[in-house]
């Protein structure tokens, strides 16, 4: 006997099949990575950015080729840390609709299999089966859309931070020489 708070989840799994559980797992992983990125940006990245600016302004040489190359290497390393989970996020977003399609196909196979075994009530059985088969598609697409929105927002933040970091480093040098 399941606890009362798990009853709706049990009905959802019964309605969508095992693929719906896999989609829920992928969604949990996707949103965990998204939450980690938000926390990384708010806590770790900002401190690292301040340390980088401090380290850059503490240098005596800011204009030679080697100094500018070093600045570029430092900024690329920091932006790469911000960008690190992006390929995994994109992979999980792309995986969700495919899992939804897999759920639809397996659900339709189950429907046709049950229709072959029973001759009575075919219209009702067909309607219930189609509803069960389309639920994983809906879940997969919903997770993919939300993940795609987050991923595109993260890419926008990374581009903005890359530009801001270069601007802040240039302003920091101007302030130190003024």
Q: Any idea where the domains of the chain sit in the sequence?
A: 4-177
Q: What is the pLDDT of residue 109?
A: 85
Q: Is 110 exposed, middle or buried (0-12, 13-18, 19+ CB in 10 A)?
A: middle
pTM of the model as a whole: 0.82
pLDDT in tens for each of the 178 residues of the chain? 678 888 877 877 777 788 888 999 999 999 999 999 999 999 999 999 999 999 999 888 888 899 999 999 999 999 999 999 999 999 999 999 999 999 988 888 877 777 777 665 677 767 777 777 888 999 999 999 999 999 999 999 999 999 999 999 888 877 766 6
Element (H, E) at 19: helix 18-39
Q: Name the residue among 108, 91, 105, 104 with its Cα closest to residue 26.
A: 91
* pLDDT value of residue 6: 80
Contact 45, 78 (CB under 8 A): yes
């Amino acid at each position: 006997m399941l606890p009362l708070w798990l009853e709706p989840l049990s009905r959802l799994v019964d309605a969508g099949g095992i693929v719906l559980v896999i989609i829920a797992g992928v969604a949990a992983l996707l949103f965990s990575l998204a939450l980690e990125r938000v926390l990384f940006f708010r806590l770790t990245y900002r401190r690292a950015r301040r340390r980088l600016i401090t380290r850059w302004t503490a240098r005596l040489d800011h204009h030679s080729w080697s100094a500018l190359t070093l600045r570029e290497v430092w900024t690329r390393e920091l932006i790469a840390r911000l960008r690190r989970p992006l390929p995994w996020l994109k992979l999980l977003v792309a995986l969700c609709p495919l899992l939804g399609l897999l759920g639809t196909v397996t659900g339709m196979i189950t429907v046709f299999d049950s229709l072959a075994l029973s001759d009575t009530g075919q219209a009702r059985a067909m309607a219930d089966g189609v509803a069960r088969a389309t639920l994983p598609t809906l879940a997969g697409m919903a997770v993919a859309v939300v993940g795609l929105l987050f991923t595109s927002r993260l890419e926008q933040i990374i581009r903005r931070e890359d530009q801001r970091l270069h601007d802040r480093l240039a302003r920091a040098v101007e302030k130190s020489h003024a």
